[in-house]
Structure 1
Amino acid sequence: MNPSVEQVHGAVQTLTQSSDTLFLLLGAIMVFLMHAGFAFLEVGTVRHKNQVNALVKILADFGVSAIAYFFIGYWVAYGGTFFADAETLSSGNGYELVKFFFLLTFAAAIPAIVSGGIAERARFYPILLATFFTVGLVYPLFEGMIWNGNFGLQAWLEATFGAGFHDFAGSVVVHGVGGWIALVAVIFLGMRRGRVRAGKHTNFAPSNIPFLALGAWILSVGWFGFNVMSAQTLEGISGLVAMNSLMAMVGGILAALFVGKNDPGFIHNGPLAGLVAVCAGSDLMHPIGALITGSVAGALFVWVFTYLQNKTKIDDVLGVWPLHGLCGAWGGVAAGIFGQTALGGLGGVSFAAQVVGTIIGIAVALIGAAIVYGVLDKITGLRLSEEDEFKGADLAIHKISATNED
């Protein structure tokens, strides 16, 4: 007996749903693994007395992010909730549940980004409260505007400029927003004690270059899940996204190598700068455009981070504002440049819309962060005491050091 057309169609549909679910689950796992990269990048950069705190912060932030996004953030961004029975939630092979997991790993990148900027002098629980509100409200507000069409922003941009704001994998939505939130947090916390001596800036050397490098490698590998699997279905997967991610990464490496004068910290952050910048237009650009985008980002990171550390009171420990905030903003604009057909891109993008959308993302991040960190600073305080900062966050907060030297 031959199967009916309906049976064949149903079998194909089930197979497609299962494949898409598995595809997105693998993407979610890859991006989740990137949080280990954030952790080790911070561990290798901070001083020994703050290494345990760096590890604990990233994991604790992820836990708080999951609760905030599950109960509030996902509803703010997409109008979806999980207040239904398990049978209903798991329909379609549970694709929507895996999609939530994937998007959660993006949302949780916000506090992971912030963590690197505020390292070595932030109190523990007030920062976890800030994580709850930034992931539950601030980030999903802009996420929903761009990726779900909330508040009519995309419709307005399309009507005004001929195209909406294009951000395929989150140069602005994730990295830009996270970086500009971090800038506000860094300003509220102020400089680490001992950074200015006799009127001159003193830079603390990274504590462990191999850990720093390990973090950069984990992030770079996971980023291909971050970018490529943003298609969210097997049908939408694009080799162009993978190629552009590769070329932007290479551009960032080489630019940081030469502009950073062989400094290992800059070299290992170079690929991350390039990958941040290419997220937005990775599905549109020609690979040469991606190479240029990544190269500009790598150089931009080195120049701005060097200036901040030596000339200003903005004490951004890992350089997360130049890396994610500025390079993310550059990526939003770059999509409007190198996505044009005249420069070998696929088109369908407006330079003006990219600039306006990027500015709106920055504004949401700055205003939201100012409210969250400003209120918490007034109510609980954000900074460790002078004694605890001198002792180090490991002993002051967690009562244990990274290594047993006895």
Structure 2
Amino acid sequence: MDVMSSLTNLRNSSDVLFLMLGAVMVFAMHAGFAFLEVGTVRKKNQVNAFVKILTDWSVSTIVYFLIGFPLAYGISFLTPAEKLLGTTQGYDLTHFFFLLCFAACIPAIISGGIAERAKFWPQVCAGAIFAALTYPIFESLIWGKNASLLQDLFKSFGGAEFHDYAGSVVVHSIGGWLALPAVIILGPRMGRYVRGKSHPIPISNIPFLALGSWILAIGWFGFNVMSAGHLDKISGLVAVNSLLAMVGGVLFALIAGKNDPGFVHNGALAGLIAVCAGSDIMHPLAAFVTGGIASIIFVYGFHIEQEKLKIDDVLGVWPLHGVIGSWGGIAAGIFGQKALGGMGGVTFISQLTGSLVAVVFALVNGFLVYGILSKTVGIRLAEEEEFAGADLSIHSIGAYPEEHVR
């Protein structure tokens, strides 16, 4: 009996450690979000990018702990610490930490789209709403306590449940499509489009942009591989599929983007976003193709968004996370088929439908939240504040304070 108890404790402890390591890796990705944004925005908005990401993370932690995680999984932490630890060494707590890192991606994604002209506190409030309610509600319908409500419908008419192993749709598509209403309602930055003509605004720091991409890419292996949840369910297939999708994204972007460093580094992210959903069921070569197609979507999607539709989405988060996240959900229904070397258990109809449901859900919530905030407290900086930059207007200090010393 003592031996069995010891083995059970060892297994529980191993699972807690496994998830904690994954959580730390995904937590580190938020530094990647920060540096990606800091490298893309102008110098006068770099401090704001850093503070936004860290503040959104902190607020997301509180609201997801108290509201979001219980809403998604029916587990409340408002009990004595002894009960929280339980007989599983606090597995639910570590599971919360891991999934918090996913939830906090939502405001981090949106941050890149609305950069350089958004008010600080209204966006903090929007991020809190998304992490406490919007994201957990959809999460509960795909992964959580209410999954049977939606998954049974997918299975009845599509032939299989909607499959999203690590969040191409649940995390990235939701985040990207939530960002689109914010960007549209905010409008373009001053000087971005003048009398209908496009005037691209140069980015500030390519090394910072590249650093952000690298941090995100490395942390992504925690995002995908540790989504197994338990040590005995770890999959080498997920690891290699993530790797090949990233590489496919880089190489295809290198060609389609004509050696542009911004496209190359975002191409890596495009591949990783797209493979999340089907990383556990695709063949590695299919993952490579999935990532490659994703980067092509980003290169041309970014151009269409910025130049044809004239949507000033600073980091291109709508095509990168929204559209490519949707592609990832659909790709799982294509390349997950056994006929194409996959593991099976998925259908194109269910994957397409689930991906479209996420788009509608995010757009409705995005327009509702940002529409209300825009009509009440306002979400855009005044012209003089935007001209001076968010750093001085909001935080009263620039990224390089010594430059202002006389």
TM-score range, shorter chain: over 0.9
Deviation, structure 1 residue 350 = 1.2
**Aligned mates of 2:70, 2:186 — CA distance in 1:** 31
- Check conservation: 1:273, 1:297, Cα contact below 8 A: yes
Q: 1:206 aligns with which of 203, 206, 209?
A: 203
- Matched residues, percent identical? 61
Report which stretch shifted further, 344-353 or 194-203.
194-203
Q: Is the 8 A contact 2:246 2:272 kept in 1?
A: yes
Q: Which residue of 2 aligns with 1:390?
A: 387
Residue 143 of structure 1: aligned partner: 139
Are 2:18 and 1:23 equivalent residues in the alignment? yes
The match for 1:133 among 129, 135, 158 is 129
Spell out the pairing of 1:268-283 with structure 2 (5 A cutoff).
Answer: 268-283=265-280
Among residues 3, 9, 15, which one is paired with 2:4 in the alignment?
Answer: 9
Q: Map of 1:3-402 to 2, 5 A cutoff?
A: 6-91=1-86, 92-148=88-144, 150=146, 152-402=149-399
Deviation at 1:162, TM superposition (A): 2.1
Q: 1:83, CA displacement in angstroms?
A: 1.1
Gaps of 5+ in 1: 1-5
Distance (whole Å) between structure 1 residues aligned to residue 319 and residue 136 of structure 2: 22
Between the two proteins, the alignment pairs up a number of residues equal to 401
Q: Secondary structure at the match of 1:384?
A: coil
Question: For 1:302-351, what per-residue CA distance to the aligned partner results, in whole angstroms no more than 9, with x for missing partners?
Answer: 00101222222311000000000010000000000000000000000111
SS of match in other structure, 1:346: coil
TM-score, L = length of structure 1: 0.98
Q: Decide whether the 8 Å contact of 1:201 with 1:311 is kept in 2.
A: no
> What code does the residue aligned with 2:354 have?
G
Q: TM-score, normalised by structure 2?
A: 0.98
1:3 matched to which residue of 2? none
Distance (whole Å) between structure 2 residues aligned to residue 111 and residue 254 of structure 1: 29
Q: Structure 2: any 5+ residue segments left out of the alignment?
A: none
CA contact (8 A) 1:245 1:275 kept: yes
Partner amino acid, structure 2, of 1:86: A
Distance 2:17 2:198 in 1: 50
Q: Could you tell me whether the CA contact under 8 Å between 2:74 and 2:145 is conserved in 1?
A: no
| CA RMSD across the alignment | 0.9
Between the aligned partners of 1:17 and 1:400, the Cα distance in structure 2 is 47
Q: Larger deviation: 195-204 or 115-124?
A: 195-204
